[in-house]
């Protein structure tokens, strides 16, 4: 599985959405499942999927599907590779 | 605003910074919240900027129980927080827009970093998972837990649905994190009743000497049981070995800008908050060491006029910029609640 597939799967499974909505408009609280509970569930799933541990500041700044791609770069994960 | 170190400002610089920001917030709410504007027009000097911090207008915290106060259009509200339902006079409703909700987390993260560092720690929550199950409507208790889970990883709830310690689950958690520092979070009365007292009678001990306990939500129930802070700490140490304990003080109306208790037992205001003690008779600002009503100031509330609130708690200022822990700012202690006010601690919400 590519990093992009792993990344998308976390969103699809955590928020119950389909892959066609995953773009720069997919932001925190844009669907009911992406609330503060869903947010921490997604972070945990991303950490498991990529074997990383994120800092609190990055979790707070992780405000959209697109911003998340940037944040993961800091941990050596290139989602778009 | 978040770039300021949480405990780095010398008092005069802090006052100048807070005054400018609080005047900006008063003006913002005056312009966008009709109830707030009416109050200021009737009771204060309208929208005129305050010249000193203690001249910043304040609202009684009770007002949020009687009125829905907001300073942004209803459609911008992304979350509504409520205080506990124990009060006889209804429930506070606090309306958050995206900006205010995000500010809450950023300020909390800044404050917490001074106490636990930037790393997330394995986290044990002294509560049951069902507390946070209703995602549509967050109680203050649920919001508190969820806010703090940002600082944890492998977040594990230590109580089962019957509010009993799940010893097998805790043992498995401790095995997974052998040799690591861990973070424990819980509301004061729950930690007392469902951890300390639950372990007590059978002489059970949990090996938690590497843990940092963070607890808050009021001492009201413990005061009614005549449990002092000293007894709380010594009993806690006896059954868990925990020495690093931080109480925090705050209210749901100013979620995020909490006042943390340092290693020397003082509650600290941060660069994003301040306390003023007011004489309960004439409401003048009190000096260090004088008891009075606690007024709380916070730079967080942008979507509702909650930046300056008079609580129903009694406290006293213990010092300014002089705490031996090295953190700057005003320190204070809380003595309890005004008689005849409501018991409204957010952890005291289990029906008896």
- In CATH, what number is assigned to the domain containing residue B187? 3.40.50.12780
pLDDT digits over A24-68, tens only?
999 998 998 998 888 989 999 999 999 999 999 899 999 999 999
Q: What is the mean pLDDT of residues B8-18?
A: 96
Torsion of CA B280, B284, B289, B292, to 10 degrees: 20
In this prediction, residue B351 carries a pLDDT of 42
On chain A, the residues whose CB falls within 8 A of the CB of B109 are: 56-57, 60
**Chain B residues with at least one Cβ partner in A under 8 Å:** 78-79, 98, 102, 105-106, 109, 112-113, 118-120, 132, 135, 146-147, 149-151, 153, 155
On chain B, the residues whose CB falls within 8 A of the CB of A32 are: 135
Q: How many domains does chain B have?
A: 1
Are the beta carbons of A37 and B119 separated by less than 8 Å? no
d(CA B80, CA B172): 36
Are the beta carbons of A55 and B119 separated by less than 8 Å? yes
d(CA B305, CA B291): 26
Rounded to whole angstroms, what are the CA distances from B131 to B9, B99, B169, B339?
A: 37, 26, 17, 30
The two tokens of residue B216 are: 């808050």
Evaluate whether residue B148 is within a structural domain: yes
DSSP H helical segments within A33-81, as ranges? 36-50, 56-61, 65-73
On chain B, the residues whose CB falls within 8 A of the CB of A54 are: 120
- Which member of B78, B106, B109 has the closest CB to residue A29? B78
In this prediction, residue B337 carries a pLDDT of 83
Q: What is the mean pLDDT of residues B262-289?
A: 96
Residues β-bridged to residue B331: B268, B319
Which residue is listed with tokens 């031996």? B324
Please give, rounded to a whole number of angstroms, the shortest distance from the CA of A40 to a CA of chain B. 7
E-state strands within chain B = 59-60, 77-82, 93-97, 121-125, 152-157, 182-187, 211-216, 244-249, 259-261, 267-268, 273-278, 292-298, 308-320, 330-337
The two tokens of residue B127 are: 């509560």
Q: CB–CB of B37/B57 below 8 Å?
A: no
On chain A, the residues whose CB falls within 8 A of the CB of B119 are: 55
Helices (H) and strands (E) counted in chain A, each on its own, are 4, 0
The domain segmentation of chain A, as residue ranges, is 3-14+27-73
d(CA B328, CA B266): 12
Please give, rounded to a whole number of angstroms, the shortest distance from the CA of A31 to a CA of chain B. 11
Torsion angles phi and psi, residue B102, rounded to 5: -70, -40
d(CA A45, CA A11): 9
Contacts (Cβ under 8 Å, ≥6 apart) of B274? B14, B18, B53, B296, B297, B329, B330
Q: Which residue of A has its CA nearest to B149?
A: A40
Evaluate whether residue B220 is within a structural domain: yes
Q: Is B265 helix (H, G, I), strand (E, B) or coil?
A: coil
d(CA B172, CA B105): 30
Note down the domain range covering B130. Answer: 11-337
Evaluate whether residue B226 is within a structural domain: yes
- Which member of A28, A53, A63 has the closest CB to residue B153? A53
Evaluate whether residue B6 is within a structural domain: no
- pLDDT category at B349 given cuts 50, 70, 90 is very low
The mean-pLDDT minimum among B112-121, B216-225, B292-301, B342-351 falls in B342-351
The angle formed by the CA atoms of residues B170, A52 and B106, to the nearest 5 degrees, is 80
Q: What is the mean pLDDT of residues B271-279?
A: 98
Percent of chain B with pLDDT over 70: 93
In this prediction, residue B87 carries a pLDDT of 53
Q: Long-range contact list for A53-60, CB < 8 A, 24+ apart?
A: A53/B120, A53/B153, A54/B120, A55/B118, A55/B119, A55/B120, A56/B109, A56/B112, A56/B113, A56/B118, A56/B120, A56/B150, A56/B151, A57/B109, A57/B118, A59/B150, A60/B102, A60/B105, A60/B106, A60/B109, A60/B150
On chain B, the residues whose CB falls within 8 A of the CB of A14 are: none
Q: What is the mean pLDDT of residues B52-62?
A: 95
Q: Which residue of A has its CA nearest to B150?
A: A56
Which of residues B205 and B340 earns the better pLDDT score? B205
Evaluate whether residue B350 is within a structural domain: no
Residues β-bridged to residue B160: none
- pLDDT category at B343 given cuts 50, 70, 90 is low
Evaluate whether residue B48 is within a structural domain: yes
Q: What is the mean pLDDT of residues B127-144?
A: 79
- Which member of A37, A56, A63 has the closest CB to residue B109? A56
Q: What is the mean pLDDT of residues B192-207?
A: 88
DSSP tag of B194: I
Which residue is listed with tokens 């000096």? B287
d(CA B87, CA B238): 34
Among A36, A62, A74, the residue to mutate for chain B (most B Cβ within 10 A):
A36
In this prediction, residue B350 carries a pLDDT of 45
Q: What is the mean pLDDT of residues B283-290?
A: 97
d(CA A37, CA A30): 14
Are the beta carbons of A35 and B112 separated by less than 8 Å? no
On chain A, the residues whose CB falls within 8 A of the CB of B113 are: 56
Q: CB–CB of B329/B270 below 8 Å?
A: yes
pLDDT digits over B161-171, tens only?
999 999 999 99
Interface size A-B, in CB pairs within 8 Å, comes to 40
Q: Is B187 exposed, middle or buried (0-12, 13-18, 19+ CB in 10 A)?
A: buried
- pLDDT category at B352 given cuts 50, 70, 90 is very low
Evaluate whether residue B343 is within a structural domain: no
Q: CB–CB of B259/B249 below 8 Å?
A: yes
In this prediction, residue B132 carries a pLDDT of 81
A51 touches chain B (CB under 8 A): no
């Amino acid at each position: 599985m590519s990093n992009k597939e792993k990344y998308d799967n976390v969103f699809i499974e955590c928020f119950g959405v389909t892959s066609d909505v995953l773009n720069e408009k997919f932001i925190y609280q844009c669907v009911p499942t992406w609330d503060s509970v869903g947010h921490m569930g997604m972070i945990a799933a991303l950490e498991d999927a990529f074997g990383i541990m994120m800092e609190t500041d990055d979790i707070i700044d992780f405000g959209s599907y697109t911003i998340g791609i940037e944040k993961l770069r800091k941990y050596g994960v290139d989602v778009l590779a | 605003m978040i770039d300021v170190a949480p405990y780095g400002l010398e008092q005069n610089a802090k006052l100048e910074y807070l005054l400018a920001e609080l005047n900006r917030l008063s003006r913002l709410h005056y312009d966008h919240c009709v109830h707030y504007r009416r109050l200021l027009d009737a009771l204060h000097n309208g929208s005129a900027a305050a010249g000193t911090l203690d001249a910043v207008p304040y609202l009684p915290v009770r007002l949020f129980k009687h009125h829905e106060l907001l300073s942004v259009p209803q459609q911008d509200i992304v979350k509504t927080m409520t205080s506990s339902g124990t009060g006889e006079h209804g429930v506070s409703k606090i309306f958050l827009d995206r900006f205010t909700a995000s500010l809450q987390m950023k300020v909390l993260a800044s404050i917490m970093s001074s106490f636990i560092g930037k790393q997330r720690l394995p986290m044990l929550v002294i509560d049951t998972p069902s507390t946070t199950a209703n995602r549509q409507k967050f109680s203050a208790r649920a919001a508190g837990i969820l806010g703090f889970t940002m600082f944890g990883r492998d977040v594990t709830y230590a109580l089962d649905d019957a509010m009993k310690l799940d010893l097998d689950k805790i043992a498995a958690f401790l095995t997974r994190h052998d040799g690591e520092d861990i973070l424990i979070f819980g509301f004061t009365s729950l930690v007392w009743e469902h951890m300390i007292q639950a372990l007590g009678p059978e002489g059970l001990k949990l090996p938690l000497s590497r843990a940092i306990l963070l607890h808050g939500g009021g001492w009201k129930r413990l005061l009614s049981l005549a449990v002092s802070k000293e007894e709380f700490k010594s009993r806690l140490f006896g059954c868990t070995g925990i020495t690093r304990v931080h109480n925090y003080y705050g209210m749901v109306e100013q979620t995020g800008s909490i006042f943390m208790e340092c290693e020397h037992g003082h509650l600290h205001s941060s660069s994003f908050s301040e306390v003023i003690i007011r004489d309960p008779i004439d409401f003048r600002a009190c000096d260090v060491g004088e008891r009075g009503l606690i007024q709380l100031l916070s730079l967080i509330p942008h979507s509702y006029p909650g930046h300056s609130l008079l609580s129903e708690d009694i406290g006293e200022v213990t010092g300014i910029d002089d705490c031996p822990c090295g953190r700057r700012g005003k320190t204070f202690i809380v003595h309890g609640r005004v008689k005849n006010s409501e018991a409204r601690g957010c952890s005291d919400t289990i029906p008896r």
